[in-house]
Amino acid sequence: MRHFVFILLFTHLFSYSQNKISFVINGKAYDHDGVAVPSAKVSFNGHYTFTNDQGEYFLEVYNKETLQLTFKHVGFLTKTITVNNRWFKNIRHNDTLEFKKTILDDNLLKQFTVTSKKIDTIYGNQRFSVEDFELIDSNRLILLLYEKNLKKGSKIVLTDGLQEMIHSYIVPGKAISLYKDFAERVFVITETGVFHVKVNKIANKIELLSVDEKDFYGFYHRVIDTLENQYFYSNYNELYPEVRFYATIKDDTSHFLMREVRDDFMMELYRAQFKYVSGRDKLWAYRKEQETGIDKEIWIGASFFTQDILYQPVYAPLFVKNDTVLIFDHYNDLLFKYDISRKPVDSIPISYHHKNKKDKWNQPLVQDPILKNILGIYHKGGITILKSIDLNTGKPINYFELGFRYVEKVKVVDGYVYYVYRPFESLQKKFLYREKIAFN
């Protein structure tokens, strides 16, 4: 009887040891191109290992039951395969079962494109900073450069598209800025006078020609644009919160008033200043009124209120697009349209210039002289944003963020935005950069 019990116990232990035998499964994980997949997690019933750099794994198994092997990797879809127990029939303790290679499927995410902002350096020099610039054609620029600051001298430089200096000219006196008029003529404005920057196309040289200031401010600076045989100009004066727009026929002395734009709130403060000045100043203003016919309140406003931090010059730009004249009245929230015969054809509400929580509109509006589209300049935490203005709805329809923060002298030409920039707390001089506008 004891022998019988022993035989049964031995038979049970032998049978148990046959089912709980220990062996190793060895395999490899690849992708569909036959490239080994490293660091893939291979697991079953809480036991796991990882593939090595050759995609190979070794997994210890303790019984001959059917297995569910699971493969996981961040770059591939999770895959589970079944290892049937028929594979284990002749396996012995400490044997290694060479398993077939496993192909993992790529984890294809939703397709998208990532593009890096391409910022071109149009002009950079470790000795001179760019103060202002104007494009005169597709390959040449006129730059206003200075070495230390404008007070200590500046020069006008003609460059090509390869940043090579073609010619330069020292600016007499302290330069302020460049100015391009309606006829594409470039001027440099200084504290003591105005000079026409004339480019000799044959010799590829520049020279500065003195311009009478009355002619410059009375004509070149005043005319905004042309349309066929008409000039469009204004009587804008930064010391007065009102502007009038006129049209005149070439070779004709007659002119036509198109629209008057006034900042009523600023005008009220402007005229009210007369109440708060001294009797001596009031007497002076009264005498000026007698001499010129200009209201004494305007004399006081121009002399005193324009120096106040509250004063803001009127801003109402005029643009010509195709055969339409556009006047933006930001004080009445309207865009006015005129046809070629100066007749008003439409008025559209605008609100892009009002404050919002996302960003802040900043003057001026800019027009691409080639593409003729009009863009608003906005700022958000130092980031400059360009928004295209829809002339049919008066609303911004898309936007483009510039790659650098706190840029200066933003200009748009032929689908590119140009600007001056120097990295914060950097020894670099101010360079001229360009980006291709890709609206979102």
Q: Is the pLDDT of residue 77 over 90?
A: no
* Least confident window among 17-31, 33-47, 421-435: 17-31
| 364: nearest Cα among 349, 350, 374 | 374
Higher per-residue confidence, 339 vs 164:
339
What does the alpha-carbon distance between residue 21 and residue 259 come to, in Å, rounded to a whole number?
98
∠167-367-332 over CA atoms, to 5°? 140
Share of the chain above pLDDT 70, in %: 88
What pLDDT, on a 0 to 100 scale, did the predictor assign at position 286? 94
Q: Is the pLDDT of residue 161 over 50?
A: yes
Q: Is the pLDDT of residue 8 over 50?
A: no
Tell me the per-residue pLDDT of 54-64, one tens digit each, with 9 for 90 and over. 888 888 877 76
Q: How confident is the model at residue 115 (pLDDT cuts 50, 70, 90)?
A: very low
Question: What is the SS3 assignment for 274?
Answer: helix
Domains and CATH numbers, the chain: 2-103 (2.60.40.1120), 118-221 (no CATH), 354-440 (no CATH)
| 209: nearest Cα among 191, 197, 220 | 197
Q: Tokens 């007497």 correspond to what residue? A: 283
Torsion angles phi and psi, residue 189, rounded to 5: -95, 130
Tell me if 267 sits within 8 A of 242, measured CB to CB. Answer: yes
What does the alpha-carbon distance between residue 217 and residue 214 come to, in Å, rounded to a whole number?
5
Q: How confident is the model at residue 12 (pLDDT cuts 50, 70, 90)?
A: very low
Tell me the per-residue pLDDT of 122-141, one tens digit each, with 9 for 90 and over. 888 888 999 999 998 878 89
> Cis peptide leading into 364, omega within 30 of 0?
yes
Tell me if 97 sits within 8 A of 23, measured CB to CB. Answer: yes
Amino acid code (one letter) for 48: Y
List, in sequence order, the alpha helices (H) in 146-256: 213-215
Tell me the per-residue pLDDT of 187-223, one tens digit each, with 9 for 90 and over. 999 999 999 999 887 778 889 999 999 999 888 899 9
Tell me the per-residue pLDDT of 26-45, one tens digit each, with 9 for 90 and over. 888 888 767 788 888 888 88
Tell me the per-residue pLDDT of 372-406, one tens digit each, with 9 for 90 and over. 999 999 988 888 999 999 999 999 888 899 999 89
Q: How confident is the model at residue 361 (pLDDT cuts 50, 70, 90)?
A: confident
What pLDDT, on a 0 to 100 scale, did the predictor assign at position 112? 35
Q: Is 345 exposed, middle or buried (0-12, 13-18, 19+ CB in 10 A)?
A: exposed
Share of the chain above pLDDT 90, in %: 50
Confidence (pTM): 0.70
Q: Tokens 């070495």 correspond to what residue? A: 147
Q: Is the pLDDT of residue 164 over 90?
A: no
Higher per-residue confidence, 270 vs 426:
270
Tell me the per-residue pLDDT of 267-300, one tens digit each, with 9 for 90 and over. 999 999 999 999 999 999 999 999 999 999 999 9
Instruction: Give the DSSP per-residue string, 348-402.
Output: EE--TTS--SS-EEEEEEEE-TTT--EEEEEEETTEEEEEEEPTTTSSEEEEEEE
Higher per-residue confidence, 319 vs 50:
319
Kindly give the pairing relationship between strand 56-61 and strand 96-98: unpaired
- The residues, ordered by sequence, that sit 6+ positions from 45 with a Cβ below 8 Å of its Cβ are 67, 68
Q: In what order do the strands lie in the sheet with 431-436?
A: 119-123, 431-436, 416-421, 408-413
Q: Tokens 């483009």 correspond to what residue? A: 400
| 135: nearest Cα among 123, 127, 126, 147 | 123
